[in-house]
Structure 1
Amino acid sequence: MECVVLAAGEGKRMRPLTASRPKVMLPIANRPMIEYLIAATRDAGIDRFVLVVGYREKEIRSYFGDGSALGVSIRYATQRRQLGTGDAVRSVRDLVSGRFLLLNGDMLLSAADCRALGEADAPCMGIFRSDHPQQYGVVTVSDGRVTGLVEKSPNPPSSLINAGAYVFNQDIFDLVDAIGLSERGEYELTDALMAYIRKGTLSARTLSSWCDVGEPWSLLDANETMLADLETRIDGEVEEGVTIHGPVVVGKGSVVRAGTYITGPCVIGEDCVIGPHAFIRGSTAIGDGCHIGHATEIKNSIVFEGTKIPHFNYVGDSVIGSGCNFGAGTKIANLRHDRGIVRACGRETGRKKFGAVIGDGVQFGINCSVNTGSVVGSNVRVAPHSLVEGCISDGTVIGR
């Protein structure tokens, strides 16, 4: 059995983080999110993959190659223009045979659920009971069959959502060939599924766990999930006088200097310098080549590779892109005074504690303040003593 993973999209809702990388390559606990999906499917006994790539596909191909490093076989189908999930399915027609698993690339699944889904008769849809179904395509089910599918309704008919995981036979290709363009100008896989639903042949398999990674702040939830089973591994240098509580990984070539206090789970990449006297709190992932310096506190955050947060900084509940530099004293607020849900660029984050999304290459001067819910585009320059808030476009210069 083969597994097709849809990985061609940019992920516009993830901007500015996807300006220089495809969505599925965004890091969770210092590994691309799609790697967890491949590993879970492999552990379920499926080792042949087809990745549908498109936007910045070179990064995916370079990282995974033929899949041998993960103990699997990977082939690629290129979707030259991102014309929807139905069009993506068309692109693998000549690369799969018989039954196959189809997975959206921007989610986390367990190996047990991948195994159960792979054993189901085709056609089958993986479903999940959600606390906020209005954000997803919602299904109705009767006697184990999908009887209805409604896309993102403010008044959903059930709490069961389409999880973006399927088992298909070859007849799916005839169905996607028969659909037309949707109102969004795309060929939607869900339009093809309606043919199954009308015939009463689309079965449903409820997943035990499911983590959607569709927004920048949902990276934090996924990061916390993947760090939950972390085991301590110290491959770098930890100087005398460092305090570590809980599971912590320190990568090769990294140095944790004296006076630093780390509470796990936390993963620190390779060739980093941490401290002296830094405070790194739980559910934090620090990418390769980062510097987290004196009197800096990082909490429940993801810091991409090559970023420097070197003195007297605070970063909480935030996602920080690669190659950024924080001037001394620059801090990110992560809590509203009214303790309300933080909004970012007009969108609900669902979080009472959320700091900011910072794109790649952002340079802060000293003593800057970044307000809750800020989204700062790539290559923004911020003058000393500036207040940063709201949605900031790529390349903006703030302050003097």
Structure 2
Amino acid sequence: MQCVVLAAGEGKRMRPLTARRPKVMLPVANRPMMEHLVLAARDAGITEFVFVVGYGEREVRNHFGNGERFGIQVAYAPQRQQSGTADALRSAQDLVTGPFLAMNGDMILSSADIARMIDAPAPAMGTSTTDHPGDFGVVLVEDGRVLSLEEKSKHPKSNIINAGAYSFTPEIFELLAGIRLSERGELELTDALGILIARHDLGAVPLSTWRDIGYPWDLLDANAALLLGLNSQNEGIVEEGVHLLGPVAVGEGTVIKSGTYIEGPCIIGKNCRIGPHAYIRGATSIGDESHIGHCTEIKNTVVMARTKIPHFNYIGDSVIGSGCNFGAGTKIANLRHDHGPVKAGGKDTRHTKFGAVVGDNVHFGINCSVNVGSVIGSNAQFAPNSVIEGSFGEDAAIR
């Protein structure tokens, strides 16, 4: 069976993190989120993939190539204009030779769940449950069949949702050929699903491990979940006087200096410098060539590659882009005084602890204070002693 991975979208809700990369290439546990999905599908027995690419496709192609280093075969189907999910799937039509899986590239699934999708009679939809179904396509299921699908309902009829994973036969392309533009001006896959539902022909496959990554703070939840399965590994240098508690993975060329205390699960990439006397707490991922320095504390955070957080910093419950530099003493707050849920960019994160979203190549002067829920665009620059709160666009500057 083939697997079509839809990976052409920009991921506007993930801004500013997608200003320089496609959403599916954002790192979770130091791998692009799409790589986790592809490896899970491979482990479920699929070796032939079609990647539908568009925005930032060069990064996807450079990372996966022809698939050889991952033990798979990859073909690419360009979607030149992002005209909706139906258009994205139609882009793969000439490369599909029989029954296939189709999956959104911005989610996390286990190989066991993908195996269930493979075994399900096509056509079928993977389903999951959530405590906020109104953000998704809400599904009613009876006797293993999908009875209805309603997108982003204000009054959801159930807590069961469309998980964005499907088992199809090539017949789906005949249905897609008849789809017309929706009110949003897009060609929607859900319109084709509606035809299958009306024919009582769409099965439902409950998924146990599905995790959607729609907003930057969802990266923290996915990162924490994937790190739970981390095995300790040391390919770098750990000096005397370093304390490692729980599963910690250290990449090749990385040096952990004396006095550093790391609580797993934690993964540290290649060629990093950590410490001396750094404190890294659980559910933290640190990208390649990063520096976490003296008396710096990092907790439940995704730090992307080539970022420097070198002296007397605190970063909690945050997503930090690549190539950033934190001046000495700069700190990110992560808790409101009333312990209420944090909003970021006007959106409820549903997290009582959440710090900031920081784009790529952001530079902070010394002793900056970043308030909870701040969203900072790429290439922003902040003068020493700046108080940073709210949202800032790309190239913003406080002098």
Structure 2 length-normalised TM: 0.99
Alignment of 1:190-229 (within 5 A): 190-229=190-229
Match of 2:325, SS state, is coil
Query: How far 1:135 sits from its partner (Å)?
Result: 1.1
Distance 2:219 2:162 in 1: 20
Query: How far 1:143 sits from its partner (Å)?
Result: 1.6
Match of 1:224, SS state, is helix
Distance 2:161 2:338 in 1: 32
Match of 2:293, SS state, is strand
Distance 1:394 1:36 in 2: 29
Distance 1:29 1:202 in 2: 34
RMSD: 0.6
C-alpha deviations, 1:363-385, integer Å up to 9, x for none? 00000000000000000000110
Match of 1:277, SS state, is coil
Partner of 1:142: 142
Moved more, 289-298 or 126-135: 126-135
Alignment pair present for 1:276 and 2:285: no
Q: Which ranges in structure 2 are unaligned for 5 or more consecutive residues?
A: none
C-alpha deviations, 1:55-104, integer Å up to 9, x for none? 01000001000111111111100000100100011111110122100000
Query: How far 1:389 sits from its partner (Å)?
Result: 0.8
Q: Which amino acid aligns with 2:196?
A: Y
Distance 2:340 2:173 in 1: 47
Distance 1:159 1:311 in 2: 46
Aligned length: 399
Partner of 2:98: 98
Partner of 1:250: 250
After TM superposition, where is structure 1 displaced by more than 2 Å over at least 4 residues in a row? Answer: none
Partner of 2:44: 44
Query: How far 1:131 sits from its partner (Å)?
Result: 1.5
Structure 1 length-normalised TM: 0.99
Distance 2:231 2:16 in 1: 32
Partner of 2:351: 351
C-alpha deviations, 1:261-304, integer Å up to 9, x for none? 00000011011100000000000000000010001000000000
Query: How far 1:183 sits from its partner (Å)?
Result: 1.3
Match of 1:52, SS state, is strand
Distance 1:23 1:90 in 2: 21
Query: How far 1:144 sits from its partner (Å)?
Result: 1.2
Q: Percent identity?
A: 62
Alignment pair present for 1:336 and 2:312: no
Partner of 2:87: 87
Q: Which amino acid aligns with 1:355?
A: G
Match of 1:6, SS state, is strand
Query: How far 1:130 sits from its partner (Å)?
Result: 1.3
Alignment pair present for 1:75 and 2:75: yes
Distance 2:62 2:318 in 1: 28
Alignment pair present for 1:156 and 2:156: yes
Query: How far 1:209 sits from its partner (Å)?
Result: 1.6
Query: How far 1:213 sits from its partner (Å)?
Result: 0.7
Query: How far 1:316 sits from its partner (Å)?
Result: 0.2
